[in-house]
Amino acid sequence: MQWYNYIAAFFSGAFLANFVPHFVKGICGDKFPSPFAKPPGKGLSSPLTNVLWGLLNLVIGYVLLGYGHICRQYPISVVLFFVGVTLMSVMLANNFQKKDKE
């Protein structure tokens, strides 16, 4: 595998992890922080904005999934995928725990 396949595996995990909170909050009809809020990432965006942002993350993550060759044949790509999921999940949890306090 080429070096860029490993980068794709990592970012695939990150984008797919970012898909979950935005999509879930959006389809539940809840306002939730997004990059399009004011201030970005701290203000609340509409449910529709979050659904669309979540779906864009899903599409990007899915495309990168193919480029990352994430399968048992390439175990490093699987590890990097889960490192991407883990790092994005921890970052999101840390960022979003403050959303109700501001």
Whose tokens are 């390439």? That residue is 74
For residue 10, the one-letter residue type is F
Given this model, what pLDDT does residue 102 score? 52
For residue 74, give both structure tokens: 């390439």
Given this model, what pLDDT does residue 39 score? 87
Given this model, what pLDDT does residue 42 score? 82
For residue 88, give both structure tokens: 């994005």
Specify which residues 59 forms β-bridges with.
none
User: pLDDT per position in the chain (102 positions), as tens?
Assistant: 899 999 999 999 999 999 999 999 999 999 999 999 888 878 899 999 999 999 999 999 999 999 999 888 999 999 999 999 999 999 999 988 876 665
CB-CB neighbours of 53 under 10 Å: 20
